[in-house]
Chains A and B, each alone.
Chain A
Amino acid sequence: MQKVKRYDPVIETKSKFMMRGILLYILPLPILIALIFALLNGNFKAIIVNGISYALFLLGASVARRGFRIEKEYKESILTYAPKIKFKTLSSIIISIATFFTSFFAAGNDLFLSILLALISFIGFYLYYGLDPKIDKIGELNLGVNAEDVIDITGHAKKRIQNIKNLKSEISDLRIKKLLDDITDETSLIIKSVQENPNDLSRARKFFNVYLHRTEKITIEYVNSLKKDNIDTTINENYIGLLKSVEATIHKQKQRLNEDDITRLDVQIEALTKQIKNEGV
């Protein structure tokens, strides 16, 4: 098997708040109170010990939440590889070490009890949160369709969509915002369709590589011009016109995913490419 580029799903869900794992921040909160008392009393040893304990728990919680985000993306993806870095497993080890350290150094328990508590917390983490997914979800692919290509291309497309969404937040024109919303929503549906039926990749590949790439590029250029206050009505209208063309073609692309009319699609992509080149923002 060729070297597989793993799809990094972290970027896509970064902005969404997730409750899972909050418990790991709440449970060690008393250590923070102990740290405050130690600071007020000027107790140097207690400051160090409680500081390290709390830092270890925070680290464990952060790593766990990263693992939860990746796991969520893994569960939502139809076609993906199991995560390479086992964040949840890593977190369960960090939490166990934090429990041992706090018990032995901060709480003054003996060595045996501290090891026992660390082991119990590891088992607790495993039972409550589970460990990382191990199975690659690559489904059944026909000859000539490479799972690596599907994951790679749809992964890049998702990143492009996210980038366009981020750029959208810097645009105030409501018409443009609406068009970008439509384009990203429809493209997400095409990605889903390709993931459900990877044999459509040949038809969608050019769309992702040419179209989406161009849309992202002209949006970056448009936002850069906005920042430089370098936008006039003509450029604005040209950009809106291009987005409308992209939207219309995406719509047709979606319809044609179920057809075998590759030639017509290619002709349309060529036409749009020329248009983007001629009217480039």
Chain B
Amino acid sequence: MNTKNWQQHSFRAMGSEINLWLETFQPTIAQAAFEQVESLLAENEQVLSRFRSDSELSELNAQTGRWQQVSPLLWDVLLVALGMAAVTNGRFDPTILHALESVGYVMSFELLETAVSHPTFLTSTSINWTHVQLDAKQQAVWLPPGVGLDFGGIAKGYTAQQAVDLLNGVGPCLVDAGGDLVAGAAPTGYLGWPVSIASPWMLSDDLFQLWLADGAMATSGIDYRRWERNGRLAHHIIDPATNQPADTDLLTVTILADNVQEAEVWATAVLVAGQQDGIDMLLNSELAGLLITQSGNMLATPQMDFYLQANSGSHHVFTQRFEEFCKYG
């Protein structure tokens, strides 16, 4: 067993650091595949980014109150987003664009620190994802006036999944899209790709190590993308019920799932829901999840426990409803 055939490539796209791994003994083939992935991300960003005024998403957001035909990519991602909004009972909602803008998240995060002031928007919680209308025959979308779409991690996750599908044609692969991990087949001689769950307090530290193959892992958290606004701490996880930054007792939520869109959305939805409701959501959905509370406790579902190593940290498995559990040390 060795790792010498693991080709690696890094670049920046979609506001994140992208890292690719591909197992092949032919570096030139790997390089060609990596370039295809870079092109894929650039093309998808041009369609799905809300930070680009000339993106297709920005054009759609500017055309509220009327039907607008969209590209197959935007259509597919929108269907995924609305489907996940339904599954999470609106804990995830792609129509929170103006709420994000109202708390100051108006540009790519790395540029936020240089911004002097941000416009403030009035947002209403009475209009949400259920008011978006679709015409499947025309592949057209109608957004209610005052509503804007932000796909959050779904756009990046959808693209990362496409990248894995592309790389899988060459060999076993792993895609790291700014902390969202998507794995293809396991590399030769290993159970999967060796990955870890980073500590929210010290990114260079690993809380747990595990093998990842033919699956995805995503983390949503308020540990990094947060800023100060009008003397108050703001972050990018919006609670659709209030259109304000979620008032949550969780710091990060990590979900393992078959695909990264599902992992990403559930991580966000559980983070918004908070510890008590979040645990119920995960147990009901039988998802593999790791919750880290703001007070430093770590809680894992039985499905997640299957992947974690007991000797690499202190955590607890919850197999009953939240109220049936003791305090965690």
> Does B bind A?
no
Chain B residues with CB under 8 Å of chain A are none
